């Protein structure tokens, strides 16, 4: 799930469940045409990702919608979409 909105200082805020907020910021900045020097904000504690929360999936879509409409956006995959559109955990060699 991702939530995007403009804050009171007219900064785009992207709140997402990720284990790598600085990588997400680095990837999203050129896609959105903004500087990547901004503070990534308060990252909520998450757990249990096992490598599944280390990529950008829907953050760019939500951010583009917020930029275009100047409105907050909440974008969330269904459980089925999560498995179809994202990568599952990488193989670790156990048999």
**Residue range 18-69, pLDDT digits in tens:** 777 778 888 898 999 887 655 555 555 566 665 566 677 789 999 999 999 9
Element (H, E) at 12: strand 12-16
| Number of domains the chain contains | 1
H-helix segments, 1-95: 21-32, 59-69, 79-85
Res. 90: pLDDT tops 60: no
3-state secondary structure 62-75: HHHHHHHHCCCEEE
Q: What is the pLDDT of residue 44?
A: 59
Residue 60 lies in a domain: yes
Residue 95 lies in a domain: no
Residue 91 lies in a domain: no
In 3D space, the residue among 62, 23, 54, 53 whose CA is nearest the CA of residue 40 turns out to be 23
Residue 92 lies in a domain: no
Residue 94 lies in a domain: no
- Specify the CATH number for the domain of residue 9: 3.30.365.10
Phi then psi dihedrals of residue 2, to 5 deg: -135, 140
| Structural domain containing residue 58 | 2-85
Residue 8 lies in a domain: yes
Q: What is the pLDDT of residue 40?
A: 52
The order of strands in the sheet holding 73-75 is 12-16, 2-6, 73-75
Residue 93 lies in a domain: no
Residue 34 lies in a domain: yes
């Amino acid at each position: 799930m991702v939530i995007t909105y403009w804050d009171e200082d007219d900064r785009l805020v992207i709140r997402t469940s990720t284990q790598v907020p600085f990588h997400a910021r680095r990837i999203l900045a050129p896609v959105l045409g903004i500087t990547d020097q901004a503070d990534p904000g308060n990252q909520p504690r998450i757990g249990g990702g096992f490598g599944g929360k280390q990529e950008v999936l829907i953050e760019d879509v939500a951010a583009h919608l917020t930029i275009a409409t100047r409105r907050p956006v909440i974008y969330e995959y269904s459980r089925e979409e999560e498995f179809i559109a994202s990568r599952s955990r990488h193989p670790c060699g156990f048999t």
